Amino acid sequence: MKVLGILAASVLIVGSLSACSSPSAQSEEFQVVATTTQVTEFTRAVVGDTGTVTGLIQPNQSAHSFDPSAKQLLALSQADAVVINGADLEPWISDALSASNFSGEIIDASTGIELLAAGEAEEDHAAHAAGDEHAHGEGDPHIWTSPLKAQVMVKNIATGLEAVNPADATVMEDNAASYSAQLASLNEWVMANFDQVPVDQRLLVTNHDAFTYFVSEYGITFVGSIIPSFDDNAEPSAAEIDALIALIKQSGAKAVFSEASISPKLAKTIASEAGVKVYSGDNALYSDSLGVTGSDGETYIKATIHNVTMLMNAWGYPVLPLPAELS
């Protein structure tokens, strides 16, 4: 595995850098490292001015395969806490923590969230609509795609960081409550938009299986994905591509959505073969990663607004005005 070789070399560098820094020379400021772009944003919202948050994965990088640099390993070695998405999204994190001699607290943002498998999304939505309980095994780690699940993640992050830094617990609790209120408003706006669209017209085709919680939350039918896997590094077979094209034609889906962190080449080909529109480039959806500064996806809230806007455009329905707290 490539990351193991890089980590083995980097640990020597980290050890050397750490040896050159005495505890008195290191910052006494509360220091937190977060993994994905979404988790980094949630963590920064909670921490606010009480400390420093360093994000490992940069905009438009894959969360599934990641090689931390020596500088990032040094940041881990000096951190009071590391916040991870969890749900097995970051298979490289254990090696990174070991290589960096991390000795702080690990906060898993996915704690308490029932994971869905890709095929369970519609069943789960039906169960919730009927008021039934529905248990799930291990599955899709892209839990943040639902703003309601994002609220749970923020709560988990706040609870964990308050225990690590009790002196600023009240401030972080207030910060978390303020950001969570924005997420609640975002969820209401998303629901109001999708309520305009008949359920049988809410059809989604994407690059890979990254929107399970989103489609489950909002009653969207997930027709299929180009990469039939949670891992965006997997490759579809010719038979799987042909099957997806047939599904698109049969379902009546109007578009194929590429994702900002994945090459749109195959999405464009499949959309052309199926005779539907492709959303790529600036119109691609944000899934595994948020976008660069200045893009529509530079924050979690903006990325979600962008995704909903693209879906509403594809489905042929107007996008509702944003509430003041999200503008």
Calculate the CA dihedral of residues 239, 244, 245, 248 and round it to 10 degrees. Answer: 160
User: Do residues 180 and 151 lie in contact, with contact meaning Cβ atoms separated by under 8 Å?
Assistant: yes
Domain co-membership, 59 together with 107: yes
Domain co-membership, 220 together with 320: yes
Is position 322 within any domain?
yes
Q: Which residue from 290, 231, 282, 230 is spatially nearest to 257, judged by alpha carbons?
A: 282
Burial of 3 (0-12, 13-18, 19+ CB in 10 A): middle
Domain co-membership, 13 together with 51: yes
Domain co-membership, 229 together with 159: no
CATH number at residue 26: 3.40.50.1980
Is position 251 within any domain?
yes
Structure tokens at 310: 């693209």
Is position 258 within any domain?
yes
Domain co-membership, 158 together with 254: no
Report in angstroms the alpha-carbon separations of 61 from 37, 58, 241. 9, 6, 25
CA distance linking residue 135 with residue 145, whole number of Å: 19
Domain co-membership, 207 together with 277: yes
Looking at residue 27, its pLDDT comes to: 55
Calculate the CA dihedral of residues 229, 235, 238, 239 and round it to 10 degrees. Answer: -20
Domain co-membership, 20 together with 99: yes
Q: What is the 3-state secondary structure (H, E, C) of the chain?
A: CHHHHHHHHHHHHHHHHHHCCCCCCCCCCEEEEECCHHHHHHHHHHHHHHEEEEECCCCCCCCCCCCCCHHHHHHHHHCCEEEECCCCCCCCHHHHHHHCCCCCEEEECCCCCCCCCHHHHHHHHHHHHCCCCCCCCCCCCCHHHCHHHHHHHHHHHHHHHHHHCHHHHHHHHHHHHHHHHHHHHHHHHHHHHHCCCCHHHCEEEEEECCCHHHHHHHCCEEEEEEECCCCCCCCCCHHHHHHHHHHHHHHCCCEEECECCCCCHHHHHHHHHHCCEEECHHHCECCCCCCCCCCCCCCHHHHHHHHHHHHHHHHCCCCCCCCHHHC
Report in angstroms the alpha-carbon separations of 291 from 16, 86, 246, 298, 304. 34, 21, 32, 5, 11
Is position 190 within any domain?
no
Overall domain count for the chain:
2
Which strand ranges, in their side-by-side order, compose the sheet holding 221-227? 221-227, 203-208, 255-257, 277-279
Print pLDDT tens along the chain (327 aa).
Answer: 444 454 544 544 445 444 444 333 345 899 999 999 999 999 999 999 999 999 999 998 877 778 999 999 999 999 999 999 999 999 999 999 999 999 999 999 999 999 998 655 544 433 333 334 333 335 899 999 999 999 999 999 999 999 999 999 999 999 999 999 999 999 999 999 999 999 999 999 998 889 999 999 999 999 999 987 666 666 788 999 999 999 999 999 999 999 998 889 999 999 999 999 999 999 999 999 999 999 999 999 999 999 999 999 999 999 999 999 998
Is position 181 within any domain?
no
Domain co-membership, 255 together with 216: yes
The domain of 249 spans: 196-326
Domain co-membership, 82 together with 153: yes
Looking at residue 52, its pLDDT comes to: 98
Domain co-membership, 35 together with 105: yes
Is position 131 within any domain?
no
Domain co-membership, 42 together with 162: yes
Using the structure block, give the residue that is written with the tokens 């617990």.
Answer: 169
Is position 274 within any domain?
yes
Domain co-membership, 18 together with 151: yes
Is position 183 within any domain?
no
